[in-house]
Structure 1
Amino acid sequence: MIEIVIRKAEKKDLPAIQKLLSTYFLDIEGLKPEDFVMAENEGKVVGCAALIRNRSGEKTVMELHSIAVHPNLRGKGIGTRLMEYLINTVDFPQAPGDPAHELYVRTTAPSFFEKLGFIKMEDAEKLLLWEDCRNCEHFGKCAQHSMKYFRVS
């Protein structure tokens, strides 16, 4: 396993994050540097992931977003370490009616998240959470799988 350091991103990290995300045609629209954590190896960014708070009706939901690992380093545990870091450090919303300890992700790699304890969601549940899914012309044939994780405190 390669030696990596995981840390919260800073404003100066934005170009490196954008470059890595562009490798997978992911954008950073609507995300801020402080939404990200980064994996570094010898001072170079080798992975990143964002954790964002989304509004879903009256609820605040926590969503993993824009997860990427340098293509030459996939399969080395970097993505797993990023996800474990976020899962273990997330500050869940505590407002009445908010899903107390649930984390969500939309992904094209469901088996990766299943290994971390995420479970696939039903379409009806997906429609309740994401307005962009409700309005999407590709909803019935979407390549993204919606998944959730429930952390027991």
Structure 2
Amino acid sequence: MTEILIRKAEKRDLLSIQKLLSTYFLDMEDLGPEEFVLAEKEGKVIGCAALVRSTYGEKSFLELHSIAVHPNYRGKGVGIRIMNYLINTPECPDKSDSSAYELYVRTTAPGFFEKLGFIRLPNTEKLFLWEDCKNCEHFEKCAQHAMKYSQDK
């Protein structure tokens, strides 16, 4: 069995990231390839996700973005490995200071994130975290769940 490598993406990975994200009708949301982490097997990108610092109003937090695993590798632990890498990356602040470590995600797959220690937030919480939710005409029928990482998993 060939090992899966988790690594920081580089500029040369741009097309591979775009191709994988397009499988799920996702885009890079103004992110550069260097903001992504990849799962790679035999030189092929099979998963990706980005961790970015977001700010809305006076609130600054970390956010998981554009998460995708190639359909042939779903359910095989690739997404969990990517998320564990990102959650434990040195870019995340000291987890012993819970006020400094706030990690959020908007997702249509809340069960996946619950396994990793995320908790669902009330739908209205999105209004305090993401400006695009505030003016969205689909807010009341939104399929995305706001979730926050809890160190108490």
Q: TM-score, normalised by structure 2?
A: 0.91
Residue 49 of structure 1 aligns with an amino acid whose one-letter code is A
Matching residue of 2:13:
13
Counterpart code for 2:9: A
Partner of 1:31: 31
Q: Which amino acid aligns with 2:42?
A: E
Shift of 1:99: 4.6
Identity of aligned residues (%): 70
Q: Is the contact made by 1:54 and 1:60 (CA closer than 8 Å) also made in structure 2?
A: yes
Q: How many pairs were matched up? A: 149
| Structure-2 residue corresponding to 1:125 | 125
Q: Deviations over 1:16-47 (max 9, x none)?
A: 00000000000013101111000000111000
Tell me the CA shift for residue 92 of structure 1: 3.6
After TM superposition, the structure 1 = structure 2 runs for residues 1-150 of structure 1, keeping only pairs within 5 Å, are 3-92=3-92, 99-150=99-150
Distance 2:2 2:143 in 1: 31
RMSD: 1.8
| Alpha-carbon shift at residue 89 of structure 1 (Å) | 0.6
User: What SS is found at the alignment partner of 1:89?
Assistant: coil
Aligned CA distance change for structure 1 residues 6 and 139 (closer, same or farther; 3 Å) = same
Q: Which aligned runs of 4 or more in structure 1 are off by greater than 6 angstroms?
A: none
- Residue identity matched to 2:83: M
SS of 2:88's equivalent in the other structure is helix
Whether the 8 Å CA contact 1:11–1:34 is kept in 2: the answer is yes
Give 5+ residue unaligned stretches, structure 1: none
1:122 positional shift: 1.2
2:2–2:42 Cα contact (<8 Å) kept? no
CA distance in 2, matches of 1:59, 1:108: 23
Q: Secondary structure at the match of 1:61?
A: strand
Unaligned segments of structure 2, at least 5 residues:
none
Cα deviation, residue 93, structure 1:
5.7
